[in-house]
Structures are given as structure tokens and as C-alpha cells.
Amino acid sequence: ASPCDRPVPATAGLSHDKWEIDPAELMLLEELGSGQFGVVRHGKWKGSIDTAVKMMKEGTMSEDDFIEEAKVMTKLQHQNLVQLYGVCSKHRPIYIVTEYMRHGSLLNYLRRHENSLGGNNGLLLDMCIQVCKGMAYLERHNYIHRDLAARNCLVGSENVVKVADFGLARYVLDDQYTSSGGTKFPIKWAPPEVLNYTRFSSKSDVWAYGVLMWEIFTCGKMPYGRLKNTEVVDRVQRGIILEKPKMCFKEVYEVMRKCWSHCPEDRPSFRLLKDQLAVISQGLL
Ligand SMILES: CN1CCN(C(=O)c2ccc(Nc3nc(-c4cccc(NC(=O)c5ccc(C(C)(C)C)cc5)c4)cn4ccnc34)cc2)CC1
């Protein structure tokens, strides 16, 4: 508030874009890998905050639209969402700066720890519940992920699992990824209405979440094995769903099956899923 009783101008504090990060405050460290957009590096922000820095290869994303959206994304805050700290947009390539998750993608983590995770239904179910909590938060904020899968979740200390890159799919320029006929389109995580009409919704995220649960309970197997995309599309449209993973409890598989209801409105919300999984988790442990 202003020292005297003069009203504070409405623009106060809006001048510096708080989603804009000064690259001088970033110290880039080792490379973490490369994704759809180019190289991702570990970084330190303001000397001490661990970050992951996506350095966006030119021409891979519609940058101005993304920078506009970043203002909204920085406001999405939940313990099971990878926090967007901000962007460096005053230079090229632009940087997307998020919180750092030290164990990398959930998919690689599941594959690397199959032996220790294998029989541990409690831990696997806990991972499902954490992702569900993050997705229930996005659902509450009418925010659609569009590419939910184990590869787009990340693992931090003490088996914390968080959802990453929510909404980012909208800014990818590669139409091999964006069009459902493209070679990079995530067919195996897509429900019928997305395959036929690219109609995304929180209920299409729920379908993808069912596949993610299957990935978790198979410790990172590829859904539908080596089937070609056209064969998967055919099965999904005929209502053939993924079989129950060997180590998965019947009650858990029942939840996956509901996520794969043909009609979006027959699928549970993330809010309902969270409660159902909590009941199963209490029953199990
Ligand atoms: C013991 N192990 C040693 C090896 N290891 C690592 O090297 C390792 C450690 C930490 C890692 N952390 C992160 N890695 C990444 C990362 C790394 C490489 C690629 C990507 N992904 C992307 O760049 C990316 C993902 C999705 C998408 C669309 C739009 C298609 C949805 C576009 C781009 C992310 C992002 N992060 C955000 C927060 N923390 C991380 C990643 C890897 C993991 C631990």
C-alpha cells in the first residue's frame, strides 16, 4: 500500500513482467536430454534454485502465443504439477524455466526400477494417485493437458511424481506431432473422439490417464506392444482395450477400464478418480 492515503495506481507492479526471467540470473549446468523442442539443461536460478531450462529450438513452437500463455501457466500451482517459474523471451532461443525434478521422466524411472517397483502395488498406486491429484487440479481450472503420458511426468526426491508440460502441445509447430495422422501423434494415449475429431477435453485426458496407469502397473511397457498406429486406431474404435497388467489388482484395473469408456461422458472425472483410488489404496494397505 502507498505510504500516504493516495490511491495506489492500478498499474503498480505490473510494469516488470514477473514471468520474465533475467538470463543473467541463470547458471546453465549439465544437459538433461533433448525433447520435442531441443535441449533441456539443469540450471541454477539466483544462485540457489534448481531449475530445468528448455532451450527452444527456433521454428519448433509458436513462441509469441506460448509467451502469452506462460502468464497463465505460472499461476497454475500444485504440489503434483511441475511449476513453471518463467520464461527468458528477450533473446532467441527462448528459455522455459521450470522447477527441477532430479530423477527424470516417470517412464525412464519405471523402467530403471522395475525390479524394486515390480511387486510394490502400494507404491505404484501412490504414483497413480499423485498424478491424479495434479490432473484434478488442472481439471478444476479447466486446463487440458493434451499429452498426458508417463514420458511427460517427472520424478523428484522421495518418490514425488509430478505432471509436466501441461498445455504445451498446443504450441508445437511440427504437424507430424499435432495432426492425428502424423507419425509423432500420441495415438496410443488418444480416445476415439480425439482420433476421429481431435476433440480434446478433460475427459480425453482421463482416457490418457488410464493408459498412464497401465504404464505404471507394467513398469513402463509400451501400450499395445509393437502394434502399428493404424492397428491401434482400429482396436480402439472397435472397443478393444489394453489387457490387465499381470501384477495389477482387479479393483485397479476396473478403474482403468472406466477411463477407457467409449463415450467421454461415461468416463469418471479426475475428482471422482482421486476419491476412488484413495478408497482402493486404504483397502490395500
Ligand atoms: C539417475 N538418473 C541419471 C539420469 N537422469 C537424468 O539425466 C535426468 C535428471 C533430471 C531430469 N529432469 C528433467 N528433465 C526434463 C526434460 C529432459 C529432456 C526432455 C524433456 N522433455 C521435453 O523437452 C518435452 C516434453 C514434452 C513436450 C511435448 C510438448 C511434446 C508435450 C515437449 C518437450 C524434459 C525436464 N524437467 C523438468 C524438471 N526436471 C526435468 C532429466 C534427466 C535421471 C536420473
Q: Is the CB of 182 under 6 A from ligand 1?
A: no
- Residue closest via CA to ligand 1's atom 12 equals 104
Cell numbers that stand for 31 in this block: 544437459
Cell numbers that stand for 82 in this block: 511441475
So what's the pLDDT on residue 1?
44
User: What pTM does this model have?
Assistant: 0.94
So what's the pLDDT on residue 36?
83
Could you tell me how far CA 168 lies from the centroid of its own chain?
9
Query: Which positions are annotated as active-site residues?
Result: 147
So what's the pLDDT on residue 10?
63
Give pLDDT < 50 ranges for the chain.
Answer: 1, 13, 15
Q: How far is the CA of 216 from the centre of ligand 1 (A)?
A: 18
Is the four-CA dihedral 99, 103, 107, 110 of positive or negative sign? negative
d(CA 165, CA 144): 11
Q: Looking at the DSSP assignment, which residues form a beta bridge with residue 53?
A: 41, 97
What pLDDT digit, counting tens, does each position of 192-219 carry?
Answer: 999 999 999 999 999 999 999 999 999 9
Q: How far is the CA of 255 from the centre of ligand 1 (A)?
A: 28
Kindly tell me the burial class for residue 186, based on how many C-beta atoms sit within 10 Å of its own C-beta (0-12, 13-18, 19 or more). buried
Q: Is the CB of 37 under 6 A from ligand 1?
A: yes
d(CA 260, CA 248): 17
Q: How far is the CA of 66 from the centre of ligand 1 (A)?
A: 19
Q: Is the CB of 100 under 6 A from ligand 1?
A: yes
Q: Is the CB of 208 under 6 A from ligand 1?
A: no
Q: Looking at the DSSP assignment, which residues form a beta bridge with residue 50?
A: 44
* Residue that is written with C-alpha cell 480425453 in the block: 204
Cell numbers that stand for 47 in this block: 544462485
- Residue closest via CA to ligand 1's atom 27 equals 36
Q: Do 103 and 110 touch, CB atoms closer than 8 A?
A: no
Q: Is the CB of 84 under 6 A from ligand 1?
A: no
Cell numbers that stand for 11 in this block: 498499474
Q: How far is the CA of 284 from the centre of ligand 1 (A)?
A: 32
Ligand 1 atom at minimal distance to the Cα of residue 102: 10
Q: Ligand 1 pocket: which of 105, 171, 189, 212 to mutate (most atoms <8 Å of CB)? A: 105
Q: How far is the CA of 40 from the centre of ligand 1 (A)?
A: 7
Q: Do 273 and 259 touch, CB atoms closer than 8 A?
A: yes
The predicted complex's ipTM stands at 0.96
